[in-house]
């Protein structure tokens, strides 16, 4: 946006980078091979500041159409913008299991704990590895098969992390912990998939979202990254869509 002399405000309710912050190691982001997600996201944040982006750690409460743009309800009041890029990512699929958690912010908090990690994809295995290296004792519970990439499967084997086939319905809440097949655990972490998080704009008539820039049928609205990419959600693709959206706006 800065290259096109377009003012840009980024509303980020948490920390810059979303789920990428929790990655044990990032292998598919060009120029950042082998770095952990937290380190990469710190670089992202500094880049934003260097580029003069107005970074505001606030959550947008709602969005509505307005004359020549969009009205955003923020903690600072209503604010109007002529263009809106939605990069809200995904939300986890949840299960009816009391006390289960769906992300692991600081693996070191679970050092010494026995954690049952549910899922068979990249995120589940990556979190198992994070937990083990932070001193926890994770066990992976998968339902049908391991769908994660070969590198993560190899790391799981190298770390000696046990993997069991089973169903989440076999997990029982026992006191402050859990049990599964006669084994006891302090915590259960669930990573069984994620859905696009479009709650902020679901009430709008979004229509078709066109690649590569994420332009929706509503003039001035763009939806990018994991919020629209589904199973192709990757940091590199999200960044590419963000660039395409910025270029599309700049050419208008």
pLDDT per residue as tens digits for the range 58-71: 999 999 999 889 99
For 3, 163, 214, 240, the CA distances from 243, given in Å and listed in that order, are: 11, 40, 10, 5
| pTM, two decimal places | 0.88
Residues 8 and 85 in one domain: yes
Give pLDDT tens digits for 134-169: 999 999 999 989 999 999 999 999 999 999 999 899
Structurally, the chain folds into a number of domains equal to 2
CB-CB contact of 213 with 248 (8 Å): yes
Give pLDDT tens digits for 37-61: 999 999 999 999 999 999 999 999 9
* pLDDT value for 9: 96
* pLDDT value for 4: 61
Six token digits for residue 88: 């809200």
Look at 102 and 167; give whichever has higher pLDDT. Answer: 102
Q: What is the CATH number of the domain that holds 153?
A: 3.50.50.60
Residues 201 and 245 in one domain: yes
At which of 190, 210, 239 does a domain end?
Answer: 190
Residues 166 and 210 in one domain: no
Residues 155 and 106 in one domain: yes
Residues 60 and 123 in one domain: no
Residues 180 and 99 in one domain: yes
Residues 99 and 174 in one domain: yes
Residues 116 and 53 in one domain: no
Averaged over 97-113, what is the pLDDT? Answer: 94
Averaged over 9-37, what is the pLDDT? Answer: 88
Domain that holds residue 126: 94-190
Average pLDDT along the chain: 93
């Amino acid at each position: 946006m800065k290259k096109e002399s377009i003012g840009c405000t980024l509303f980020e309710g948490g920390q810059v980078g979303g789920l990428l912050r929790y990655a044990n190691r990032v292998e598919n982001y060009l120029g950042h091979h082998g770095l952990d997600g937290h380190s990469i996201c710190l670089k992202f944040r500094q880049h934003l500041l260097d580029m003069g982006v107005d970074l505001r750690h606030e959550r947008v409460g709602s969005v509505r159409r307005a004359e020549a743009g969009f009205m955003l309800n923020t903690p600072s009041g209503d604010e109007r913008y002529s263009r809106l890029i939605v990069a809200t990512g995904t939300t986890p699929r949840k299960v009816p299991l009391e006390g289960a958690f769906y992300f692991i912010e600081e693996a070191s908090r679970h050092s010494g704990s026995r954690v049952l990690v549910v899922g068979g994809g990249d995120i589940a295995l990556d979190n198992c590895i994070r937990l083990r290296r932070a001193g926890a004792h994770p066990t992976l519970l998968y339902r049908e098969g391991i769908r994660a990439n070969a590198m993560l499967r190899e790391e799981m084997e190298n770390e000696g992390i046990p993997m069991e086939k089973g169903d989440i319905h076999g997990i029982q809440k026992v006191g402050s912990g859990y049990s599964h097949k006669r084994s006891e655990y302090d915590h259960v972490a669930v990573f069984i998939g994620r859905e696009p998080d479009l709650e902020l704009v679901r009430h709008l008539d979004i229509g078709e979202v066109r690649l590569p820039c994420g332009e929706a049928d509503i003039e001035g609205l763009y939806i990018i990254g994991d919020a629209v990419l589904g199973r192709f959600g990757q940091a590199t693709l999200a960044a590419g869509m963000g660039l395409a959206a910025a270029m599309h706006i700049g050419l208008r």
